[in-house]
Amino acid sequence: MTQKPHVAIFPSPGMGHLIPLTELAKKFALNYDLSSTFIVPSIGPPPEAQKKVLGSLPEGINYISLPPVSFDDLPGIRAETQISLTITRSLSSVRDVLKSLAASTRLVALVLDLFGTDVIDIASELSVPSYIASLSTGCGISVHGRDLPDPIQDRKDDAYKWFLHHSKRHSLAEGILLNSFVDLEPETIKALQDQELGNLPPIYPVGPIIYSGSSIGASGHECLQWMDDQPNGSVLYISFGSGGTLSFEQLNELAMGLEISEQKFLWVVRSPDKSASASYFSATSNTDPYSFLPKGFLDRTKGQGLVVPSWAPQIQVLSHGSTGGFLTHCGWNSTLESIVHGVPLIAWPLYAEQKTNAVLLSAGLKVALRPEVDGNGLVGREEIAKVVKGLMQGEEGAAIRRRMKGLKEAAAKAVSEEGSSTKSLHELVSKWKN
């Protein structure tokens, strides 16, 4: 009996990288009878969120955790640099796992994300074709320098050098999977597929790939019971993703802005930090976030809003009838989740490629309002109240809602049986199986 085709999947550290790749693996298993093994690098003990996701994978999808990497010799380095170094410091372990998979399975491909390009060399040694899963937008709109990812803005920073290093290695892959779909970025995807942008391997738009699991602990979550009692489309959901944190001053301005907007809100709050990506690797709040809110805020907004610490079952919230808007950090996973559920946005980017996504959403697709930052680098309470009211009640908000409804329909069509993304994935898997 011939062995089932097997795919090795290498996510770089961070929940935002792991989740879309686990969803891709589920598609491989359920629709194409492909088995897969995750090779998971780590910086320390795995966060609870990661344990839950890996522990709930269906049959045919396995995972191997690599020995943790230490950064005691490099305190205080940027998250982006830490991700790349975690991978280079894990390469000998990766080689051992890939060798063993190549010997024990019918290994047809290695799928890795943008930070994992150094693993391509090991796969080549073993004659296994590598594919890069680009977990963000193709982004073909004009972007001002200030809206490029932070590491690209400082050429002296190691993160900039790593960015260039990985970008130059894209051409070594056999193909690039894009977590986007043709109707979302038609011109960009056409240009990428027509090779107008130079030396790129074939592009496969296979999105939107979003989290499909029932969030563990979601069904009885207090916020969903609270949402059940709110009017249809009345609640603004606020979350800065699994890794985003605000400064103390910004947290206060956001609280006061929400209060004076008089709009209903559900706010996933984390304790503040000077670094916007402070909870990137842990995906939880470091201390009790309630103690940092303005004095009396929770009492004054009791009927108006609900504040929950660290985490909410986002998919269930976005698909709830009471949700009328989403104030988001513009991480690509959250962006696609809001498109799939047709929820209009307030774009509030923090780090990584989020500012570029915010430009695409506000200026390109026109499905988001973007608050202006003042001279001190803060979004002030009056600006917050104005934008929140504008989205939830204004004419502009209504127009955004209509455009987002169109994208929701296009997203559903892309992943339907005859849809463009389904065909694209089918083409790729057929290549592997043959």
Beta carbons of 241 and 331 less than 8 angstroms apart: yes
Integer Cα distance of 110 and 75 in angstroms = 32
What is the DSSP annotation of 297-346?
HHHHTTTTEEEEES---HHHHHTSTTEEEEEE---HHHHHHHHHTT--EE
Integer Cα distance of 253 and 336 in angstroms = 27
Element counts in the chain: helices (H) and strands (E):
16, 13
Strand (E) or helix (H) holding 402: helix 395-414
- Any residues with CB less than 8 A from the CB of 147 and at least 6 apart, and which? 355, 356, 358, 359
Strands 345-347 and 368-369 turn out to be parallel
The number of angstroms, rounded, from the C-alpha of 173 to the middle of its chain's C-alpha atoms is: 22
Strands (DSSP E) contained in 50-200 are 61-65, 106-113, 130-134, 175-178
Beta carbons of 108 and 6 less than 8 angstroms apart: yes
Phi then psi dihedrals of residue 174, to 5 deg: -80, -20
- Any residues with CB less than 8 A from the CB of 66 and at least 6 apart, and which? 39, 40, 41, 42, 90, 93, 94, 97
Active site residues: 17, 113
